[in-house]
Amino acid sequence: MSDLAHGKCKPCEGGVDPLQPLEVENLLKQLNGWTLTGGAITKTYSFKNYYQTMAFVNAAAWISHREDHHPDMKVGFNSCLVAYITHAINGLSENDFICAAKLDKLFEL
């Protein structure tokens, strides 16, 4: 099993096919708590309070900027729903799984 969290996102400019269902299934098995929802991979992170939630959101924004791959996020008082999909190809790419793994590593800190 590869360590997705140490991967580096490739530029997403479209022109490539989305991952096939079997590839998605295999990569999803390498993540903890992520599910396939409406064509995206999603996970809800829970926190003790708003401050911790916002600290996570800001750190996730930094990772997203560094990787140049950005999730959709729904932020609440003590939770953050993260959804990854590669909009340029209207499907999932390895970048989605790399960034999801990086957020999981962040959450462990």
> How many Cβ atoms are within 10 Å of 104's Cβ, its own excluded?
17
Q: Please check whether residue 7 lies inside any domain of the structure.
A: no
Q: Please check whether residue 27 lies inside any domain of the structure.
A: no
The listed range with the strongest mean pLDDT (2-6, 10-14, 33-37) is 33-37
Q: Please check whether residue 8 lies inside any domain of the structure.
A: no
Q: What's the N-to-C CA distance of the chain in angstroms?
A: 22
**49 with 78: CB under 8 angstroms?**
yes
> How many Cβ atoms are within 10 Å of 26's Cβ, its own excluded?
13
Number of domains in the chain: 1
Q: Please check whether residue 108 lies inside any domain of the structure.
A: yes
> How many Cβ atoms are within 10 Å of 1's Cβ, its own excluded?
6
The residue assigned the tokens 């991979």 is 41
Q: Please check whether residue 9 lies inside any domain of the structure.
A: no
Q: Please check whether residue 29 lies inside any domain of the structure.
A: no
pLDDT digits (tens, 9 = 90+) for 25-83: 999 999 999 999 999 999 999 999 999 999 999 999 999 999 999 999 999 999 999 99
Residue 22 has pLDDT above 50, yes or no: yes
Q: Whole domain around residue 49: which residue ranges?
A: 35-109
Q: Please check whether residue 97 lies inside any domain of the structure.
A: yes
